[in-house]
């Protein structure tokens, strides 16, 4: 991730209202954590110019950090990763797959949809990463189907949970993201999207997310999406 990509992505997400700040009335995430911020990368699908720019940056990240000829397929995680995988596969001229959260349950009982040759080098694509937990399920599914995966790319990486990269590194996968909450906070401060008090509260969360969550009604969490 480059600083320029981080700031550009952050500004796009703020502009299309994919970023929500609520420091005085925290969101409760699916994990049970309390958070003064919430991001919805799914909104990008409705903004063609924004998504084109994001996919360009993802493609450049792949080419610079992974390589031009180091992949055989792009695999999107169900469900939010599927459109990003389709756009990125088209941009990189690669086959596209998608990975179900669990096997289909009937027919072929497939968890990987699309044509994947044994040994195919797959890039896992999702919209965002918090602590990396859900990525492990997709990685396991690809490897169980005899595919290979050494890299995952997301539009947005929370960037505040050390386990997000550590859990993936433990299974031999590198995580690449365009922007983090630190990029969004800097962009929000520059744009005047939050007053000084709001900026301070969000910074407090980013510096100690588990402590902030516990003091604002959140639950203790081991894994997240």
Cis peptide before 221 (omega within 30 of 0): no
pLDDT at 51: 97
Name which residue leads in pLDDT, 225 or 126.
126
Range 3-214 classified under CATH 3.40.50.2020: yes
Of 172, 163, 167, the residue nearest 142 (C-alpha)? 172
Helix then strand then coil, % of the chain, to nearest 5:
45, 20, 35
Q: pLDDT digit string (tens) for 142-161?
A: 999 999 999 999 999 999 98
pLDDT averaged over the chain? 93
Q: Domain ranges in the chain?
A: 3-214
Confidence of residue 225 (pLDDT cuts 50, 70, 90): very low
pLDDT value at 223 more than 60: no
Q: pLDDT digit string (tens) for 69-116?
A: 999 999 999 999 999 999 999 999 999 999 999 987 665 668 999 999
Name which residue leads in pLDDT, 30 or 115.
115
């Amino acid at each position: 991730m480059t600083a320029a990509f981080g700031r550009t992505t952050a500004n796009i997400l703020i502009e299309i209202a994919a970023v929500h700040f609520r420091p005085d009335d925290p969101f409760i995430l699916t994990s049970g954590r309390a958070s003064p911020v919430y991001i919805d990368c799914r909104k990008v699908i409705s903004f063609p110019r924004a998504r084109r720019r994001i996919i360009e940056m993802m493609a450049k990240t792949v080419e610079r950090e992974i390589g031009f000829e180091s992949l055989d397929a792009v695999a999107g995680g169900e469900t939010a990763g599927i459109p990003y995988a389709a756009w990125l596969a088209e941009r990189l001229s690669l086959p596209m797959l998608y990975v179900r959260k669990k096997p289909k349950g009937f027919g072929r009982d497939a968890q990987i949809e699309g044509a994947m040759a044994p040994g195919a080098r797959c890039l896992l694509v999702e919209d965002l990463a918090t602590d990396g937990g859900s990525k492990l399920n997709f990685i396991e599914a690809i490897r169980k189907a005899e595919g290979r995966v050494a890299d995952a790319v997301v539009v947005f990486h929370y960037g505040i949970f050390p386990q997000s990269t550590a859990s993936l590194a433990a299974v031999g996968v590198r995580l690449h993201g365009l922007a983090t909450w630190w990029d969004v906070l800097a962009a929000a401060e520059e744009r005047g999207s939050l007053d000084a008090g709001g900026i301070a509260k969000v910074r407090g969360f980013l510096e100690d997310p588990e402590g902030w969550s516990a003091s604002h009604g959140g639950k203790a969490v081991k894994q997240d999406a």
